Structure 1
């Protein structure tokens, strides 16, 4: 190799360097996809050096979107009415019955929430009724409840759980049979007698329609029992049927609330009522309650005494203590004090000089007046000369 010229030696070195660099690139090819390899210069390949390990690349920061989004508007809570403190001698409304009575009590509490003189006491039993007296005997329990609460008004809603057989004289009677209805009327009367022991006014709220047609039919029959028995005892029957059916009398899920807005009134099971439905049930009884309580049910009342809350009591049943009923003497139909007359219009004598017209003679007497002479309808014969 010493015999060669320097130019030849340089060319040979360049060839060796090129071949060596190509092999290095081929060996590093598969790894180039994973990590970056620093390429060596010609002088580094020829004389060595530059073997320092490559510095690890810094991770690139992830790109974030710079699109500006509007900040969420904070929700504004609806203003809540302040809690009104009830008076010590506030009048109590006792609510008894089944699960619908519990919903009615909830609606009445909302209706009188701002009335300091009214307190709603809920003593309903959701699974109770008049049929299963072995589970809860309302005629027996009612007396002790009334004595404990001493309410001014009693509200009853019962019967949704009573579509069951009744044992009458040892025999199981089907729902709405003759014996079943007779026994159910007797138990209804026992409950009313137990509730009116303190002569407290009773408002019996009727049952609404239900999604099941057969259940709705049974509720109609039970409402007729409640209406007859409570009115016989001097109480008041509150009919809510039209508020939960359509124009054809069919069950509805959605209807008008107390403000006339279309809302959901019944639950998905077709039995329970929503919050709006509870308020609507209470709305029917609210009018009678406000009439009985007077100014005590008003908002902002600061005290209750005999001036703004006279004593109220349940009127006696027909035929019961009739002497205590105050009756107003009716005005006689022949009383002339109103207009100065001496008799009714039908008793006025006929006028003596009254002469009947040709029409009256034809209609009343059947006499046709004679036509004047010379007129075409004058059929008198023989004709008279004009």
Structure 2
């Protein structure tokens, strides 16, 4: 209460100091911490309202008073009154921080695979979850979780987490058993000429063996099993791998062009507010004929809250095309690498290059011309429907 009402510490000089203290206390004034600091000086503390009632006692006793200390709420207001713009700015700052932290600035969806983010955000908007919404207007997270789960049939559970100005929607989707297609009886036949290196029949009857040469279209695993009247047809399943030869005509240049940085660059700065950027430096057209841009975003935060403010640095790097001379061996290796990459992309992810042979090679007009035979171990199986005749 003393700090709320204000306290002054005063020094009394001259006059009848003891009479001043006694008469003031007798008149109902509150004085404390009364102490003599010298033969002619006396100090004490007094409440601010009683301070203004001391004047008649000072005149009566011939004492002089000097204020040496002030503390309490009234004096703080007086100081603040001399700095009105600072006070208004502080108030506006805290009000602005409260308002900004009370808004929903970002919504993040996690865990969705089959459900699209647009579907989830549309359902969330119906429940009042959208950017620039007041967070205190939203229901409890448990209520929101139940409503969102009910609105999205493909979701088994949707968790709602509020962290500062960000809301995270964690989706757990319902799992359904995979629908297997209905298959008709079939054979498995060779997709290309080759030599069988592995055959594994899961269903059906294998009709070739390991190391056997096969032609394209030849039956490898038959969908017909049994003999005579016990013959029946099945859906042939299995794995057949074999060695297949691929012939390539390769043209590999003796010069290679690569993109390099010249060391020249230009920097642009942007202010980012709520996902929108405003350029503040680095104006003008791009001075480079060829360039590459690198972007880095720095977002502001306060404690655990992520604020919708930040800055973005955009660095434009000048590039140019440099030519590098290749030796004949380097050009041959580059051509072979390109051919192997092409054959593996066509043969499948489980294909393996076993051997490569250069059948013919020549150098002409700054290029290396080659005819290459590449031996690849790959799957050589494809499906062929098994057509049954009527009456069978």
More helix by share: 1
Q: Which has the larger radius of gyration?
A: 1
TM-score tier, shorter chain, comes to under 0.3
More strand by share: 2
Given the two structures, how large is their TM-score scaled by the length of structure 2? Answer: 0.15
Given the two structures, how large is their TM-score scaled by the length of structure 1? Answer: 0.15
